[in-house]
Amino acid sequence: MRAKDIRERKERDDPVTMLTAYDAPTAEIVDSVGVDMVLVGDSIGNLRLGYESTLPVTLEQIESATAAVARAVDDAMVIADMPFLSFGADEDEAVENCGRMLKDADADAVKLESGPHTVDLTRRLTQIGVPVQAHLGLTPQHENEIGLFRQGTDQSAAREMIDLAHKHERAGAFSLVLEHIPANVAAQVTEAIDIPTIGIGAGPNCDGQVLTVDEVIGLTESVAPFSKAFGDVRGEMTDAIEGYVEAVESGEFPAEDHSHHEDGVDDIY
Ligand code: KIV
Ligand code: NA
């Protein structure tokens, strides 16, 4: 799946599906089901690495997870989510860091939490051949400014969002994630631009949807109000692990079936 294929989906009015993945086995399942884009999100920080936010996530952590995901994916587009401070300070360094995700980790594209400061970077990356997915609305890397779910959208923020959406489209972004914004604003942004919008907590009128895979499968206990668990993997894991502990404690496991014998290895006593 390439940037061009994703762009064309909007013309055909064909909804785009996107999910996160952080490891090879999960990515393999996500890809085999036919999800269009697999995002190696910096949400790995909260969901898999035990941090309270995405800010401590390093480029090396995203690179290693992206490489694992890319090894497991055949069809979907693999997108590396650029972590806090891997872009935004120095443009040359940002270009190097983004390029590394394609060159060394085999990503197909990068995602940048976007703002006025990412327009030129998006243009430069696209010109070089690094497809960029933009991200507006709630941008968790800014949580220290205002608090995570307090990033509200007032009328002027909505206007600025449409302006930034246009600017990133013109700079070459191939799609735009809209996180936690009013549904009517998301619908207007979607109407205003020709690249697909991918919503999360942004209502039903986007061109596609994204969620974290840990919420979808029910692995994490903390599911955001706009998200939805479609399974109970946490329950299944708990049952399996409890079953193992009980079987070991009761002496039921390992049974003869799970034991190993070799001819010629005789008892010593
Ligand atoms: O890191 C992440 O998982 C994300 C998506 C929720 C868009 O940025
Ligand atoms: Na992210």
Q: What is the mean pLDDT of the chain?
A: 95
pLDDT of 243 > 90? The answer is yes
Give the tens place of pLDDT for each residue, 64-100.
999 999 999 999 999 999 999 999 999 999 999 999 9
Residues 98-115, mean pLDDT to the nearest whole number: 98
Residue whose CA lies nearest to ligand 1 atom number 5: 41
- Give the pLDDT confidence score for residue 28 in this predicted structure: 98
Weakest mean pLDDT among 69-73, 102-106, 184-188, 257-261: 257-261
Confidence class of residue 139 from pLDDT cuts 50, 70 and 90? confident
Residues 54-65, mean pLDDT to the nearest whole number: 98
The residues placing their C-beta within 5 Å of ligand 2, an ion, are: 41-42, 81
- Best probe residue, ligand 1, of 48, 200, 211, 214 (max atoms within 8 Å of C-beta): 200
- Give the pLDDT confidence score for residue 153 in this predicted structure: 73
Helix boundaries (H) for the chain:
3-11, 24-33, 44-47, 59-72, 91-103, 119-128, 143-146, 155-171, 183-192, 213-216, 233-250
Q: Is 93 a catalytic residue?
A: no
Fold of 3-216: TIM Barrel (3.20.20)
Among 199, 193, 200, CA closest to 174: 193
Whether this model's ipTM surpasses 0.95 comes out as yes
Q: pTM of the full predicted structure?
A: 0.95
